[in-house]
């Protein structure tokens, strides 16, 4: 790991503009207009190259003046983690509010820009994990192209959040710290891989092309209709194989059972409904759960928080 920058200081509008030129971001500070030397944020920004095509930026700043940003460069994949503070983000006609414990996975093409607003009078502690195109290609996933930019919000699992907090609060010697942060970065990637990229990634083991296509039909059915009452026998017919073969080959190909995969699809869908303001009962129903109590148990196990906690984030 190599630290590119680590500074506890005041960052002016001019500093933000210089940072923006390096990362392809346009910054705007409405209250300051032409006063480029006026401090906008005060605190520390650390930029660390983790290797394997990954870079981590850790920010711990006090926002003195509200500022807006808009990306103007493509991003193969970025994962933003909010540990403290609040930020509003927009991509096309979709708007989200990032609050502590929320993470955002983003892919941007050259046309669509991610817009963000950081209100004044707050402390922001955030992490941004960036992947370059070569690292993305190793995952078997394509960058955002003609189909448009994507963003996917998710809740940071409690153990991972605690690990990140500890790593930042009590750093180890440089070499050990680099290994620790690289491992945490890979965990962020494992949890934050957007659904569209997960569909595009290859299977965990090589399969004959025809068999792979049949298993992909099953996976597509689970992704596209997670709320449906899927049965192993019906899915097996879709794959043109016996239920036992489907169970064994799906596990070997995708690293989890058919119904573990279905549960993940349902919980992602429910998470999106909750973030959009639907009730726990509605989210449970819309994603295929008959009983809200079973849904709440599964949701807490997956995301580390009760589904009701997402209703109060905004």
pLDDT tier for residue 79 given thresholds of 50, 70 and 90? very high
Structure-token pair, residue 127: 């992490």
Distance CA 303, CA 157 (A): 5
Q: Which of 10, 66, 82 is nearest to 43 (CA)?
A: 10
Q: Are residues 188 and 228 in the same domain?
A: no
Highest mean pLDDT among 23-27, 70-74, 198-202, 245-249: 245-249
pLDDT of residue 280: 92
- Tell me the CATH number at 115: 2.60.120.10
Q: At 185, is the pLDDT very low, low, confident or very high (cuts 50, 70, 90)? A: confident
Res 139: pLDDT: 62
Choose one of 174, 194, 214: the last residue of a domain. 194
Per-residue model confidence (pLDDT) at position 2 = 40
* 179 and 38 within one domain: yes
Asked if residue 261 and residue 214 are part of one domain, the reply reads yes
Last residue of a domain, one of 194, 216, 241: 194
Of the candidates 194, 226, 249, which is a domain's last residue?
194
In a shared domain, residues 181 and 207: no
Q: Does residue 8 register a pLDDT over 60?
A: yes
Q: What is the pLDDT of residues 87-117, one digit of tens each?
A: 899 888 788 888 899 899 888 877 778 899 9
Instruction: Identify whether residues 173 and 106 lie together within a single domain.
Output: yes
End-to-end CA separation in angstroms for the chain:
36
Give the Å distances, CA to CA, from 161 to 157, 173, 191: 6, 21, 12
Tokens of residue 307, six digits: 């589904």
Give which of 79, 310, 69, 109 is closest to 194, Cα–Cα. Answer: 79
The percent of residues in the chain predicted with pLDDT above 70, rounded, is 84
pLDDT (tens digit per residue) in 9-32: 888 888 888 878 877 888 888 876
Report the largest interatomic distance among the alpha carbons of the chain, rounded to a whole angstrom: 70
Residues 166 and 278 in one domain: no
Residue 225, pLDDT > 80, answer yes
Instruction: Tell me how far apart the alpha carbons of residues 153 and 50 are, in angstroms, rounded to a whole number.
Output: 23
* Beta-bridge partners for 10: 42
Same domain for 219 and 309, yes or no, is: yes
pLDDT in tens, 233-276: 999 999 999 999 999 888 877 777 899 889 888 888 888 888 88
CA distance 111 to 208: 37
Answer yes or no: do 22 and 39 share one domain: yes
Closest C-alpha to 60, from 77, 75, 47, 71: 47
Tell whether 143 and 221 lie within a shared domain: no
Do 180 and 208 sit in the same domain of this protein? no
With residue 205 as reference, give the H or E element that holds it.
none
Helix (H) or strand (E) holding 241: none
pLDDT at 85 over 60: yes
| Alpha carbon 226 to its chain's center | 20
Mean pLDDT over each residue of the chain, to the nearest integer: 82
Answer whether residue 312 shows pLDDT above 70. no
**Percent of the chain at pLDDT exceeding 90:** 26
Mean pLDDT of 204-214: 69
Q: What is the mean pLDDT of residues 273-281?
A: 88
Band the pLDDT of 313: cuts 50, 70, 90.
very low
pLDDT 10s digits, 34-67? 566 888 999 998 888 776 678 888 999 999 999 9
Residue 278 phi, psi dihedral angles, 5° rounding: -75, 155
Residue 200 has pLDDT above 60, yes or no: no
pLDDT tens digits along 123-144:
999 999 988 776 666 665 555 5
Residues linked to residue 122 through DSSP beta bridges, in sequence order: 63
Give the pairing of strands 2-12 and 25-28.
unpaired
CA–CA distance, 39 with 307 (Å, rounded to integer): 39
Q: Which residues contact 286 (CB under 8 A, 6 or more apart)?
A: 227, 269, 270, 273, 278
Regarding whether 10 and 144 lie in a shared domain, the answer is yes
Total tally of structural domains belonging to the chain: 2
pLDDT confidence of 232, banded at 50, 70, 90?
very high
The answer to whether residues 61 and 166 belong to one domain is yes
Q: Could you give the angle at which helices 209-224 and 243-254 cross, rounded to 10 degrees?
A: 90
Looking up residue 241, the CATH number of its domain turns out to be: 1.10.10.60
Residue 201 has a pLDDT of 46
In this structure, the number of other CB atoms found within 10 A of the CB of residue 244 comes to: 10
Q: Which domain holds residue 290?
A: 202-314
9: nearest Cα among 75, 61, 65, 76: 61
């Amino acid at each position: 790991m190599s630290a590119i920058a680590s500074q506890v200081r005041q960052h002016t509008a001019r500093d933000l503009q210089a940072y923006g030129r390096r990362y392809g971001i346009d910054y705007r500070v409405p209250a300051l207009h032409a006063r480029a030397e006026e401090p906008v944020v005060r605190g520390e920004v650390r930029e660390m190259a983790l290797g394997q095509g990954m870079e981590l930026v850790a920010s711990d700043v006090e926002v003195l003046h509200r500022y807006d940003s808009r990306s103007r460069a493509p991003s193969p994949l970025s994962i933003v983690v909010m540990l403290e503070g609040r930020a509003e983000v927009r991509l096309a006609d979709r708007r989200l509010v990032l609050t502590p414990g929320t993470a955002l996975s983003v892919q941007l093409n050259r046309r669509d820009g991610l817009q963000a607003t950081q209100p004044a009078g707050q402390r922001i502690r955030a992490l941004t994990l960036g992947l370059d195109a070569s690292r993305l290609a190793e995952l078997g996933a394509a960058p955002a192209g003609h189909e448009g930019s994507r963003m996917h919000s998710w809740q940071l699992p409690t153990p991972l959040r605690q690990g990140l907090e500890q790593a930042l609060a009590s750093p180890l010697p440089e070499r050990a710290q680099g290994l620790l942060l690289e491992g945490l970065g890979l965990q962020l990637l494992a949890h934050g891989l957007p659904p569209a990229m997960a569909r595009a990634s290859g299977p965990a083991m090589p399969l004959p092309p025809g068999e792979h296509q049949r298993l992909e039909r099953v996976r597509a059915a689970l992704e596209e209709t997670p709320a449906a009452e899927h049965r192993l026998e019906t899915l097996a017919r879709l794959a043109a194989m016996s239920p036992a073969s489907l169970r064994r080959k799906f596990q070997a190909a995708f690293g989890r059972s058919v119904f573990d995969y279905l549960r993940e699809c349902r919980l992602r869908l429910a998470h999106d409904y909750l973030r959009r303001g639907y009730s726990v009962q509605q989210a449970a129903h819309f994603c295929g759960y008959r009983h809200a109590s079973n849904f709440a148990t599964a949701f807490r196990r997956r995301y580390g928080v009760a589904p009701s906690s997402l209703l109060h984030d905004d």
